[in-house]
Amino acid sequence: MTRLGLASGVAVVTGAASGIGRATALALARRGCALALVDRDADGLRATADTARDLGVAVSEHVLDVAEAGAVAALPDSVMAEHGRVSVLVNAAGVALAGRVEEVSMDEVRWLMEINFFGLVGLTKAFLPHLRAAGEAQIANLSSLFGIIAPAEQAAYAASKFAVRGFSEALRHELEGTGVGVTVVHPGGVATAISTSARVAAGADADEVARKQAAFERQFLRTPPEAVGEAIADAIEKRSPRLLVASGARSGALLQRLMPVRYWRVLRKGADRLGRG
């Protein structure tokens, strides 16, 4: 595929009120791409939109929860009415859930999957006809390093991100020969609020989880979201099928390739050190 021209494009970006979604939206705006910004946080969304407008691009704001299937199904009509076309879809909305499998309720797992996976699938299906109509288009789906490796106490989150990876790779294969490409993004440690604001399982010890999260943040959340947003925009422009980005992403993926069954033996030592920190 040839490089995607972003200067004349229109990108739909979910999770755009903060973190990687916001950073990616602004990186696309700096390349001249118009934006349809999506998030449930109206105030954060407005702040991102105002910054993007200062960069000279057309911006529309769409306040909705990606877990609401009806709102997702109606979104393309709203975006098309504002912009007339869509050439990029960035599925960046996501949440985290901390706790061991026996501590996490099924309702909590369903809550996470509705946002991290089913919301992403619904948005992709809703916009795919418009992306195909654009001729040349790109979808960027946010998985995670935890879509490659699966640490203890992250079963639900890792399951959702492995699902995003599998869905994205299969979709890429289905779209071969069309003008629509798929980039699956695996961020490592990014300094956003998704970890520190993770929902704590109802059956977990909240103080213990908070201590581990604080240690994890000090050790691993080192890459600023702005750097990740720029890398994602570059990957979209280059139509890269896969992006490993931020601290630990490449080393974690390499470890999994070298030790596909036993990688946790190595990672657990670091986790144990964090637990004592």
> How far is it, in rounded angstroms, from Cα 126 to Cα 114?
16
Annotated domain spans of the chain = 10-276
The model carries a pTM of: 0.89
Residue 142's H or E segment, with its range, is strand 137-142
Looking at residue 208, what is its pLDDT? 56
Block means of pLDDT (10 residues each) for the chain, 277 residues, are 92 97 98 98 98 98 97 98 98 93 95 98 98 97 96 94 98 97 91 55 57 50 86 98 89 92 82 49
Helix 42-54 vs helix 19-30: crossing angle, to nearest 10 = 20
Dist. CA 158–CA 210, nearest whole Å:
19
Order across the sheet with 180-187: list the strands. 59-63, 34-39, 10-14, 88-91, 137-142, 180-187, 242-245
CA-to-CA separations, 101 to 57, 105, 110, 116, 187, in angstroms, rounded: 45, 8, 13, 18, 24
The tokens describing 139, both together, are 């979808």
CATH architecture designation of domain 10-276: 3-Layer(aba) Sandwich (3.40)
What is residue 276's predicted lDDT score, i.e. its pLDDT?
Answer: 44
Tokens (6 digits) for 178? 């069309």
Say whether 139 sits in a helix, a strand or coil. Answer: strand
Confidence at residue 246, expressed as pLDDT on a 0 to 100 scale: 79
What does each C-alpha distance from 115 to 47, 119, 161, 237 come to in angstroms?
Answer: 22, 5, 11, 26
Q: Residue 271: what pLDDT?
A: 56
Q: What are the residue numbers of the active site? A: 157
> What pLDDT was estimated at residue 269?
73
Nearest to 138 by CA among 148, 128, 147, 146: 128
Q: How far apart are CA 179 and CA 195, in angstroms?
A: 35
